[in-house]
Amino acid sequence: MALQIVESCVNCWACEPLCPSNAIYEAKPHFLIDAKKCTECDGDYADVQCASICPIEAAIVDSQGVALNPYGSLTNIPLEKLRQHGIIDKLAA
Amino acid sequence: MTEMTASGCSESSCGSTADQLSHLPEHIREKVHNHPCYSEQAHHHFARMHVAVAPACNIQCNYCNRKYDCANESRPGVVSELLTPEQAIKKTLVVASEIPQMTVLGIAGPGDPLANPERTFQTFQALSETAPDIKLCVSTNGLALPEHVEELSKHNIDHVTITINCLDPEIGAKIYPWIFWKNRRIKGVKGAKILIEQQQKGLEMLTEKGILVKVNSVMIPGVNDKHLAEVSKVVKSKGAFLHNIMPLIAEAEHGTYYGIMEQLGPTQAELKELQDACEGDMNMMRHCRQCRADAVGLLGEDRGSEFTLDKIEAMEIDYSSAMEKRKVVHDNIAAELARKEEEKAQGVQFVSLDSLRKTAKPKPQLRSVLMAVATQGGGIINQHFGHAKEFLIYEVASDNVKLIGHAKTDQYCSGNNTCGDGETVLQKLIRSLDGCEVVLSAKIGYEPWEQLEEAGIIPNSEHAMEPIEEALLAVHKEMAESGALEEKTEAGLRATA
Ligand code: SF4
Ligand code: SF4
């Protein structure tokens, strides 16, 4: 039971201070979640904190690799526009 | 002498030579006097800088892409190197020692300074103690403002800027897709409503404490353009001392919602029309540069590359001796500004006598003209057209010159013989001078000369190294004498829109 930060993270620091388990740490090229510490906020908050503030779609994924904030869910930009501008990479699309 | 401009503005400001700040109470004018962001004169002589210590944000704006700096105060598409508070303190002290004209330090992103309170206040604390001759300012989206008003009042804060784009949550939902509030992400109208309430509450709390508040608004045609006059009225009634309406800048390559959805920004003429409409209610700021957050230096110059992290870290500073030198420089500039004001005051006297005579025997009404100027500071036309990083936009009447804005450029020529894809950059630049009829620079090449003429803009380098205001009045006079100014048409202002 742990979330993961992937390469689209822009290193904005927003998630790090919110984590109730101190699982998030600065790393290169992007922030990471320590899978041993992450509790998915169970018992602390109704919503997972990191994915509730993260501004970048698809930067945080669950153990199945599914994005907590899918493309288009935060910016409201239609998917075909995201594809057209090369923002969704081919793998994710 | 009161003549209406093409876009029609309020009586209180039209054709008057009065400083836009002259209605403010004395103690506020005092603060504003040497402020490079507020005082039109000081703008040429003092410098400001930003430090990027606050990376996190607690809301999303549709004109922002979090890969880049916060678009509320910086230019979109700019990435600043994130500094720790220690690095930011050192950088500020180094720059202040090297550029004594630097008097204002801002914390404005890349995120929201108040969403990163520890980093922001650690920086402020140290600078208030070590460098009391630097004014501190902070800009915020307002969401976390009420809870930090008390702490803000403890530091040497010159003013707080709140970006307020609307009062109506329905409009807000079209600008802010979500906020992060009390450990949840809240989307749509509900989120916008909370944000608006917090902004208004924060504004009221700050003015109650006597802290200066400036309000920034981004003008988004078709979204909040009709609503901003109301915003202006309300923030004034709550004690904001200045309102700065900035044009939306939306480019698809910035990857923002508005950029990708091809939302248009306003033209210079539309922006000016709205600013004119608001001016009767509120002191408007017309000359905001929408500076790049990483720019350092005087108007028109950027010395940011002299102050990279490795260079700063290698430098030793003795701030108390630097402070003495700074004082000498500041006193000299203040004396110079006072001298200019004196001259201007005498000029006004002369003009008003003259205008009395005009009423007796009326001359044909001359319209005012928008002119663009390339300068590297000091209030002189001293920049080559191709090297200009920005153009100052002036509204010039026969007896009055008013700085109303800035047009930013990607430098069209980097100074070599070959300009790479210079042509497209030049086209873009010419488009950004939309509405201007003349552009003045110290020098201009043959190719841009031709293209400007084709676009209906007159290039002029006859006034190289002359003071800006005098040169502009002279050009207006020449145009008047050639009979170019007797027709006043709306089309003139929107020519290239
Ligand atoms: S889900 Fe919760 S516990 Fe896990 S990293 Fe995110 S904030 Fe920390
Ligand atoms: S909030 Fe998202 S983008 Fe920011 S550091 Fe955390 S994972 Fe990266």
CA–centroid distance for B229 within its chain: 19
Pocket-testing residue among A13, A57, A62, ligand 2, by greatest number of atoms within 8 A of Cβ: A13
Assess whether B413 and B297 both reside in one domain. Answer: no
Residue B68 lies in a domain: yes
User: Looking at CA atoms only, how far is residue B137 from chain A in angstroms?
Assistant: 22
Chain segment B159-213, per-residue pLDDT in tens: 899 999 999 999 999 999 999 999 999 999 999 999 999 999 999 999 999 888 9
CA–centroid distance for B454 within its chain: 29
Chain segment B74-128, per-residue pLDDT in tens: 666 677 788 999 999 999 999 999 888 888 888 876 899 999 999 999 999 999 9
Q: Which residues contact B202 (CB under 8 A, 6 or more apart)?
A: B140, B142, B145, B146, B149, B162
Assess whether B224 and B369 both reside in one domain. Answer: no
Query: Closest Cα to residue B106, out of B178, B162, B50?
Result: B50
Task: Verify whether the Cβ–Cβ distance A10 to B180 is below 8 Å.
Answer: no
Greater confidence, B436 or A93? B436
d(CA B402, CA A10): 42
Residue B474 lies in a domain: yes
Q: What is the CATH number of the domain that holds B173?
A: 3.20.20.70
Q: Which of the ligands is closest to the CA of residue A49?
A: 1
DSSP H or E run through B38:
none
Query: Closest Cα to residue B440, out of B366, B495, B378, B370?
Result: B370
Which of A18, A30, A45, A53 is the best mutation test for B, with the most CBs of B within 10 A?
A53
Task: Verify whether the Cβ–Cβ distance A13 to B60 is below 8 Å.
Answer: no
Identify which of B57, B67, B257 has the shortest CB distance to residue A77: B257
Query: Closest Cα to residue B162, out of B231, B214, B107?
Result: B214
Q: What is the CATH number of the domain that holds B380?
A: 3.30.420.130
Contact A69 CB / ligand 1 (< 6 Å): no
Whether residue B357 has pLDDT greater than 80: no
d(CA B437, CA B434): 9
Residue B339 lies in a domain: no
- What domains sit in chain A, N to C, each tagged with a CATH number? 1-93 (3.30.70.20)
DSSP secondary structure of B75-96? PTT--PPP--HHHHHHHHHHHH
Size of interface A-B (CB pairs under 8 A): 61
* Total of domains in chain B: 2
Mean pLDDT, range A56-71, rounded to an integer: 95
Tell me what pLDDT residue B224 has. Answer: 96
Query: Closest Cα to residue B182, out of B143, B148, B151?
Result: B143
Greater confidence, B355 or B299? B299
Can you name the residues that pair with B105 across neighbouring β-strands?
B49, B136
Tell me what pLDDT residue A88 has. Answer: 77
Q: What is the pTM of this model?
A: 0.74
Assess whether B374 and B307 both reside in one domain. Answer: no
- Domain span at residue B269? 26-314
Of B253, B282, B314, the residue at which a domain comes to its end is B314
Assess whether B368 and B254 both reside in one domain. Answer: no
Identify which of B111, B185, B260 has the shortest CB distance to residue A12: B111
Assess whether B240 and B97 both reside in one domain. Answer: yes
Q: Cα torsion for B314, B84, B78, B305, to the nearest 10°?
A: -10
Tell me what pLDDT residue B491 has. Answer: 42
DSSP E strands: which ranges in B135-192?
A: 135-140, 157-163, 178-181, 184-187
Contact A59 CB / ligand 1 (< 6 Å): no
Assess whether B448 and B300 both reside in one domain. Answer: no
d(CA B279, CA B285): 9
Assess whether B368 and B303 both reside in one domain. Answer: no
Assess whether B290 and B383 both reside in one domain. Answer: no
3-state secondary structure of B235: helix
Task: Verify whether the Cβ–Cβ distance B177 to A76 is below 8 Å.
Answer: yes
CA–centroid distance for A44 within its chain: 18
Is there a contact between B177 and B256 (Cβ–Cβ < 8 Å)? no
Residue B445 lies in a domain: yes
Q: How many CB atoms lie within 10 A of CB B308?
A: 11
Task: Verify whether the Cβ–Cβ distance A14 to B57 is below 8 Å.
Answer: yes
Residue A18: list chain B partners with CB under 8 A. Answer: 183
